[in-house]
Amino acid sequence: MLYRSVCIPRIIFLPAMLLVIFAACSKQKKTTIITEQNATLQLNISHVVGARPLSLSGVSYQNEVGEAYTISAFKYYIGNVTLYYPDEKSVTVADTYFLVSEDSAASKKIIINGLPAGNFSRLSFRIGVDSARNNSGAQSGALDPVYGMFWTWNSGYIMAKVEGNSPVSMQPDHQLQFHIGGYVGAQNVVRTVMLDVPGLVLRSNEANGVSLVADVSKWFSGPDPVSFKTLSSWMTPGPVSVMMADKYKRMFSVVKVGNQ
Amino acid sequence: MRTRFIYGCIFLAGLIWALSPACRKGDASIRSGQDAPEPYELILPTGWPVPVYDFSQNSLTKQGIALGRYLFYDQRLSKDSTVSCGFCHQQFAAFGHFDHSLSHGIEGRIGTRTVPTLFNLIWKRSFMWDGGVNNLEIQPLTPITDPNEMGQDLGTLVRNLQSDAGYRLRFKAAFGTEEVTSQRIFRALTQFMATMVSFNSKYDSVMRQAPGVQFTLEEQHGYEIFQQKCAACHKEPLFSDFSYRNNGLSKIPALNDIGRMKITNNASDYMKFGVPSLRNVLKSSPYMHDGRFFDIYLVFDHYDRGIVENASQDPALRTTLDPLLKNGLPLNVAEKRALYFFLNTLTDPGLINNPSLSEILIR
């Protein structure tokens, strides 16, 4: 697939190169004025299901209600990465979009250049694509509809996607398909994740990293755990998308702060 | 070395082609070579609303429009190279599909709704009969990828066009480099669709008080009936308010189309469909979202005495009939005839005979 071998690195690169401009233009209230910005943050994301690493090749997992399932695709958008100083001022990498996909190693290493040096205590980012980009016409880069993360019949991005299989699913071939999206009003599934990154230090001309893990099992865990007997597929905006987004926004945790 | 030779050949072939007057007649898309694309000014009528489409990211250029037109009429946009956009959107039918109630596509597949007409699209906020598409630029994504229409994978389409030397030149002429992206495909198609404008009908001449043009008595009578009974939804000058309404059609069980409710998940949108423009209406039969009426008089009859109020057994879904149609729109024989003559004044040769919109034969 072209998408794996060529496009993903560019998706990450382009926004990174444009970062200087965007960061300078950002008008968020608490944003620090950036004078020196040559530090680099690398987010290393790995995917797990509960205690086990995620595999797309048929490994069987079990949900909270004891049903077996496999995963064949796992993708999501993140963006609006924000670093907080201990005094709560922050630096936001605005207007950037990353498509993270389990089948692309490159997509799981997000490199953000042009950041100010400093000590940071917290990190936040958005899961999904902001409403403006959902209705502003044809997009490019990570938002190119060529990646299959845009609904054709009901415009808007699939913010996050899990596909797989479960013997209890009533769908053809016992499929699981969760395509979560919606950007209008109460259907909005954009969620912000806030994580502590104690001791994160960025220095000029030096890359520093944060290792994150995203746990797919959180999509289906409690409260009100999902049973694939009754819910094995959802592919429209609406209440189920909102419910799933509220579940998967808990999937991230920090496993390591500092250089690899 | 070998690669350079091949590129040399392609360049030479391109050069010969570009210099050959027979090939480039009336085609500005690749003539300009290294030059920047030339701006194109779309002249719009005075007194009309400001277009909804935001041109700021996609300024019209002669080369952009020409590329869009080429794409619009290229069958290679479909999976098996049998169906172009223009296959279903025929100029003489105001870019609707003459004589077909339901749209059809590759491999003889048939869709569930009729082909909408295409004109004055830059004034529309949402697209498709149910309003599911929110921007003109992204509209072509639906027919291109729908398995019942052109059935093509978007990534495959981008790669196909990128590997075509002619297209590389056209993209360079339109956008400055040879790179083909889905965004450029959509923007070029949008540029061409933006030029599908309709405001040169007899009605428009009368409204502009063009010298020597006036309605006949019957047309004038029809206009008065229109204003009284139709204009609330088919609002002038675009002849649609671009809202979604239940106009009292009986449900066709085989299609089981719930309309806009599919998009909004809201029961109050059950069986609501977009109000189409009446411009060029006599050229764009059949009518309604499912093309059930092949004659405009059947449409008159529907509003006169065919309105169905309870289209569903589900009590929650029974009340979506538009209040304006609660008592139907009574029309006698003379009124229907007058209305017909008025609607005839909405036929716009500036659209259906415009040579710059006509089909170009590719290969």
Residues A219-228: tens digit of each pLDDT:
999 889 999 9
Contact call for A137 and B142, based on CB within 8 A: no
Minimal CA separation from A58 to chain B, in Å: 26
Token pair of B254, please? 């085989």
Residues of chain A scoring pLDDT < 50: 1-34, 260
Which residues does chain B have within 8 Å of residue A152's beta carbon, measured at their own beta carbons?
Answer: 141-142, 145-146
Q: Distance from A216 to chain B by nearest Cα, in Å? A: 27
- From first to last of the 363 residues of chain B, give the pLDDT tens digit: 444 545 544 444 444 444 444 334 444 445 545 579 999 999 999 999 999 999 999 999 999 999 999 999 999 999 999 999 999 999 999 999 999 999 999 999 999 999 999 999 999 999 999 999 999 999 999 999 999 999 999 999 999 999 999 999 999 999 999 999 999 999 999 999 999 999 999 999 999 999 999 999 999 999 999 999 999 999 999 999 999 999 999 989 999 999 999 999 889 999 999 999 999 999 999 999 999 999 999 999 999 999 998 666 777 677 899 999 999 999 999 999 999 999 999 999 999 999 999 999 886
The neighbouring-strand residues paired with B222 are none
Tell me the Ramachandran region of residue A114: left when phi exceeds 0, alpha when psi lies from -120 to 50, beta otherwise: left
DSSP character at residue B293: B
What gap in Å lies between CA A43 and CA B48, rounded to an integer?
51
Whole-model pTM over 0.80 = yes
B154 closest CB neighbour out of A134, A137, A145: A145
Q: Is the peptide bond before A223 cis (omega within 30 degrees of 0)?
A: yes
Amino acid at B280: N
Residue (of A240, A231, A214) closest to A100 by Cα position: A214
> Which residue of chain A has the CA closest to B135?
A137
d(CA A83, CA B168): 42
pLDDT of residue A24: 36
Q: Looking at beta carbons, which residues of chain A come within 8 Å of B135? A: 135-138, 155
Q: Which residues of B fall within a CB distance of 8 Å from A153? A: 128, 132-133, 142, 146
Contact B132 A140 (CB under 8 A): no
B227's enclosing H/E stretch is: helix B217-229
For residue A2, the chain B residue with the least C-alpha distance is B155
CB contacts of A138 in chain B (<8 Å) are 135, 137-138, 182-183, 186-187, 190
Cis peptide before B237 (omega within 30 of 0): yes
Specify the 3-state DSSP secondary structure of B138.
helix
Residues of chain A neighbouring B151 (CB-CB closer than 8 A): none
CB contact under 8 A, B158 and A3: no
Residue among A2, A153, A238 minimizing CB distance to B132: A153
Which chain A residues are closer than 8 Å to B142 by Cβ?
Answer: 152-153
Q: Which of A134, A156, A238 sits opposite B265 (nearest CB)?
A: A238
| Yes or no, beta carbons of B145 and A136 under 8 Å apart | no
Give SS3 for A56.
Answer: coil
Residue to mutate among A135, A152, A240, A242, with most B CBs inside 10 A, is: A152
Amino acid at B76: R
Q: CB-CB: which of A146, A150, A155 is closest to B158? A: A146
Helix (H) or strand (E) holding A93: none
Res B310: pLDDT: 66
Give pLDDT, residue A158: 98
Torsion of CA B175, B181, B186, B190, to 10 degrees: 0
- Count CA atoms closer than 13 A to A258's CA, side-chain side: 3
Contacts of B152 in chain A (CB under 8 A): none
Which pLDDT score, from 0 to 100, does residue B232 have? Answer: 97
User: B7 in helix, strand or coil?
Assistant: helix
Looking at residue A88, what is its pLDDT?
86
Torsion, Cα A45 A50 A51 A53, to 10 degrees, reads -50
List the one residue out of B227, B237, B38 whose CA is nearest residue B120. B237
